[in-house]
Amino acid sequence: MLISHQSVEYELPDEWWFASGIQHLVLSERAYIPNASPNPKLPVIHIAIGDIEPCVRKGSHGVFNDSPEFGTARDRVVSILTGFLENSAIPPIEVSQLPGGSPTQYKLIHGAHRLYCAIAVGYSHIPAIEVDDFRGT
């Protein structure tokens, strides 16, 4: 399945989509249910997906990649999509504000799989915490 985020297109394999059962999801909210923020000083906010700069990754897997720490891209995507379907609490993404004059308000720092899965299912907003830099502070 081909998905678009602003001017960037990415591929979410149909097999991953159907393995999660997400085709049965009926959206009733504009965003998924978030876990609590890991830092009480950084509240979870809901931001419009259109306010986030598209993530452009090079390589064979586009925005979805395998990770020694978190597992295969397939397992991660299926887990996120299944969480959406089951109304499970899922961690918010991490964003940083871009300087004024940027075409979007936020840069994604952490959570590309969650962001692009949210776009794929049709959410208009996403839970996020705003961090100052790449260290998440």
Domain ranges of the chain: 2-130
The DSSP symbol for 65 reads: -
- Measuring CA to CA, how many Å separate 20 from each of 25, 36, 63, 107? 10, 24, 18, 28
Q: Say what the pTM is.
A: 0.89
User: In 3D, which of 64, 95, 61 has the Cα closest to residue 77?
Assistant: 64
- Measuring CA to CA, how many Å separate 79 from each of 39, 54, 61, 122? 24, 22, 17, 17
pLDDT, tens only, 74-131:
999 999 999 999 999 999 999 999 988 888 999 999 999 999 999 999 999 999 999 9
pLDDT, tens only, 90-106:
999 999 999 888 889 99
